[in-house]
Amino acid sequence: MARKPEVDRRKFLTSVAVAGAATAVASEATGAAVDTTQSQPPKPSALRPSAAVAAAESAVPAALPHAEGRPGSDFMVDVLRSLKFEYLATNPASSCRGIHESLVNYGNNERPEMLTVMHEESGTGMAHGYSKVAGKPMALLFHGTVGLQHATMGIYNAWCDRVPIVVMVGNHLDAATRPPGVPTTHSAQDPLSLIRDFTKWDDQPGSLQAYAEAMVRAYKIAMTPPMEPVAIALDAHLQEHPQNGEMLSIPKLTLTSPPQGDANAVREAARLLAAAERPVIVADRAARTANGMRGVIALAETLNAPVVDQGGRLNMPTSHYLNQSGRGGALVGQADVILALELTDLWGTLNTFVDNVQGTRTSRLKPNAKVINLGVGDLYIRANYQDFQRFADADISIGADAEATLPALIEAVKAEMTAERRAQNDKRADDLRKAHAQGRERAMAAAVLGWDSSPVTTARLSAEIWAAVRNEDWALVSSDFFQSLWPHRLWNMDKHYQFIGGSGGAGVGYGLPAAVGAALAHRSEGRLVVNIQSDGDMMYAPGALWTAVHHKIPLLTVMHNNRAYHQEFMHLQKVGNWRNRGVDRAHIATTIRDPFIDYAKLAQSMGMLGIGPIEDPKDLAPALQRAVQIVKAGDPVLIDVVSEPR
């Protein structure tokens, strides 16, 4: 490499910056002193930059040598290309400037294409939503330390939701050569320790070859169930300096096959299921792909067993008669064998918890009920954060990927089931069909309550959206828990990609960016993507709206605007009641009033069509029809709807 000690580029830029700052302060002080002697009030003017400041901000001094040789970060781009990243979301950062320049000028901003995000948490949320739809990670490129600090909650959400994302952060490792001042403040000896409790693997490679190996390993590990976030720190020196002639190679990516259940354990589970009188299947994140959903359906049909879909993904079509999620608690209570597939919370499934003063807990289980736990939860677990939930008993515990294990389990159940049992199971079908139909009728009867009232009910909001999109190839990219699960109750969700669950970690601020990222992944499939967006969640980092406009990501966002952090509002109400002192002040610091936020204007300010606020439910259908046309033409739209709390 061509290092010229007489003009060290880094030192040059940093020292002029420091000198510039000092100059600016001095001239400001002088200016103020002069003004006091004048009779005229001073004219408003921007602070004139000194020549040194101007140079530091923009100029490349003539004396600066151009870096010679092939930059290390060009090779890093080759590595990203080899892993076939389509997108890389970034919030620009000086510690990443080497690779940023390579992505733009060497990589031509293609594969990966850079996405500009306005907050690292937005980037992480985008990667999270994207990954669940695309089935592969998006790359993220952030500042170490401050950028990573912004990103952490989003990474925790992805961790809890078992979603692979690949986080890269810039870092100046060598204390002797890194620039002083801000770059040093932003450096860390172990930057990824911040997220080590909720990433599956991380590394800070010390050479380009090690970078290539670390990235391929990271990708592979992230994509092996349990899929989780991984992180790599990119040394700025490694990025910015030319390759030193070493022979570099990029390892081949061979994805690890997902762990499949041990044959004996699977047979044991099949025996229990095949003999069960009242089996029930409970699934949370069992269906990663269309195959996963096919597996859940096939197992349920083989047993004629009801399925309780807990909604971490779409595990069972809502229109299938064996989807009996609406009576989940009761079904678990009546079951003699419970098959748990990739649950977040087995304990919470087998027990009830009432959030009253005592925090009442009771087991739902019938005596002698057997529990089969199939999932990757036991295969990778950390100690600090408690997302693994309370420990629960199981009679058979299969540490394996449910989706990969279902085919073997289905075959084993078929082999174990007697003709007599099969005939008995088939008799259940009529009752289950009836119960499913009744559930739908009850939902319809409940949906009309308050139909014409304002604020708009969440049932009407959901029904009107469904009417507007049902004839398209649509996907809902938001969780519907806060909308009283109306989409699950009223819509026919039949394809695995039509619903992708929620944040995983319940860290608020996930909704908007995840929707934008998911919409990006759906874009190439030409799907009409709907995001029902909570107002509180939106305001953590509304800049994701701008990212959607900037990158032309079609997305229909319908605000469920209840003008509150409503979950907390209800918590406050409870505690006030319990303490028997005042029930009319729970809105303090839990609501978003005085003033109300105009979300349509917020969208408009970022170049997005914003409609609303809609208060009369009659205005909803025409607004949706208009919006759907615009989204189909390729643009994002936001409709603000002043809505019921839940």
Partner 1 sequence: MMTQIGNYAACVALAVVLGGSGGAAFAGDAAKGKATFVRVGCYECHGHQGQGGVAGLKLAPDPLPYETLAAFVRSSSGPMPPYSDKILSDADLSDIYAYLASIPKPPDPKSIPPLNP
Select from 340-348, 426-434, 460-468, 567-575 the region that touches ligand HEC (CB under 6 A): 567-575
The nearest distance, CB 358 to ligand HEC, in angstroms, is 13
Select from 100-108, 178-186, 193-201, 351-359 the region that touches partner 1 (CB under 8 A): 351-359
349 binds, among partner 1, ligand HEC, none (CB under 5 to 8 A by kind): partner 1
Which of 440/574 has CB closer to ligand HEC? 574
Which of 188/346 has CB closer to partner 1? 346
The whole-angstrom separation of Cα 466 and Cα 397 is: 40
Provide φ and ψ at 290, rounded to 5°.
-60, -35
Chain positions 583 to 602 lying near partner 1, rule: CB under 8 A, are 583-584, 586
The nearest distance, CB 487 to partner 1, in angstroms, is 13
Would you call 507 exposed, middle or buried from its count of C-beta atoms within 10 A (0-12, 13-18, 19+)? buried
The whole-angstrom separation of Cα 433 and Cα 168 is: 50
Among 11, 84, 470, 552, binds partner 1 (CB under 8 A): 470
Which of 254/362 has CB closer to ligand HEC? 362
Instruction: Determine how many CB atoms are found less than 10 A away from the CB of residue 13.
Output: 18
Which of 40/362 has CB closer to ligand HEC? 362
Among 365, 574, 598, 630, binds partner 1 (CB under 8 A): 574
Cα angle value 38/42/45 (rounded, 5°) = 145
The whole-angstrom separation of Cα 153 and Cα 90 is: 16
Chain positions 382 to 401 lying near partner 1, rule: CB under 8 A, are none
Q: Are strands 556-561 and 307-309 parallel, antiparallel or unpaired?
A: unpaired
Chain positions 99 to 158 lying near partner 1, rule: CB under 8 A, are 153
Would you call 471 exposed, middle or buried from its count of C-beta atoms within 10 A (0-12, 13-18, 19+)? exposed
200 binds, among partner 1, ligand HEC, none (CB under 5 to 8 A by kind): none
# residues contacting partner 1 (CB under 8 A)? 73
Chain positions 339 to 378 lying near ligand HEC, rule: CB under 6 A, are none
Chain positions 44 to 83 lying near partner 1, rule: CB under 8 A, are none
Distances (CA, A) of 166 to 141, 231, 382: 9, 6, 19
Chain positions 403 to 422 lying near partner 1, rule: CB under 8 A, are none
The nearest distance, CB 357 to partner 1, in angstroms, is 8
Chain positions 570 to 599 lying near ligand HEC, rule: CB under 6 A, are 570, 573-574
458 binds, among partner 1, ligand HEC, none (CB under 5 to 8 A by kind): partner 1
Cα 62 from chain centre: 46
Chain positions 281 to 310 lying near partner 1, rule: CB under 8 A, are 308, 310
The nearest distance, CB 451 to partner 1, in angstroms, is 6
Chain positions 487 to 506 lying near partner 1, rule: CB under 8 A, are 490, 506
The whole-angstrom separation of Cα 608 and Cα 544 is: 11
Distances (CA, A) of 370 to 232, 279, 373, 474: 43, 9, 10, 39
Are 144 and 188 in contact by the 8 Å Cβ rule? The answer is yes
485 binds partner 1 (CB under 8 A): yes
Chain positions 422 to 451 lying near ligand HEC, rule: CB under 6 A, are none
The nearest distance, CB 438 to ligand HEC, in angstroms, is 19
Distances (CA, A) of 164 to 149, 342, 573, 583: 19, 16, 38, 44
Would you call 36 exposed, middle or buried from its count of C-beta atoms within 10 A (0-12, 13-18, 19+)? exposed
**Distance separating the N- and C-terminal Cα atoms of the chain:** 63
Which of 546/569 has CB closer to ligand HEC? 569
Match 């099969």 to its residue by tokens: 422
Select from 242-250, 252-260, 285-293, 569-577 the region that touches ligand HEC (CB under 6 A): 569-577
Would you call 201 exposed, middle or buried from its count of C-beta atoms within 10 A (0-12, 13-18, 19+)? middle
327 binds, among partner 1, ligand HEC, none (CB under 5 to 8 A by kind): partner 1
The nearest distance, CB 593 to ligand HEC, in angstroms, is 18
Residue of 90, 80, 199, 86 whose CA lies nearest to 134: 86
The nearest distance, CB 362 to ligand HEC, in angstroms, is 13
The nearest distance, CB 532 to ligand HEC, in angstroms, is 22
The nearest distance, CB 645 to ligand HEC, in angstroms, is 10
Full DSSP string of 144-203:
TTHHHHHHHHHHHHHHHTT---EEEEEE---TTTS-SSHHHHT--SSGGGGGGGG-SEEE
Distances (CA, A) of 231 to 130, 149, 199: 17, 13, 7
Chain positions 352 to 371 lying near partner 1, rule: CB under 8 A, are 352-358, 360
Which of 2/445 has CB closer to ligand HEC? 445
Which of 1/449 has CB closer to ligand HEC? 449
Are 119 and 91 in contact by the 8 Å Cβ rule? The answer is yes
Cα angle value 390/393/399 (rounded, 5°) = 90
Chain positions 428 to 457 lying near partner 1, rule: CB under 8 A, are 442, 444-451, 453, 455, 457
Instruction: Determine how many CB atoms are found less than 10 A away from the CB of residue 49.
Output: 16
646 binds, among ligand HEC, partner 1, none (CB under 5 to 8 A by kind): partner 1
Among 295, 565, 608, 613, binds partner 1 (CB under 8 A): 565
Contacts 24+ apart (CB under 8 A), 584-588: none
# residues contacting ligand HEC (CB under 6 A)? 3
153 binds, among ligand HEC, partner 1, none (CB under 5 to 8 A by kind): partner 1
The token pair that represents 100 in the structure block: 């940023």
Select from 49-57, 359-367, 544-552, 568-576 the region that touches ligand HEC (CB under 6 A): 568-576
The token pair that represents 93 in the structure block: 């950062």
Cα angle value 277/391/572 (rounded, 5°) = 105
Which of 260/567 has CB closer to ligand HEC? 567
Among 570, 598, 609, 619, binds partner 1 (CB under 8 A): 570
Select from 153-161, 453-461, 489-497, 566-574 the region that touches ligand HEC (CB under 6 A): 566-574
Which of 366/574 has CB closer to ligand HEC? 574
310 binds, among ligand HEC, partner 1, none (CB under 5 to 8 A by kind): partner 1
Residues lying near ligand HEC in the complex (CB under 6 A) are found at 570, 573-574
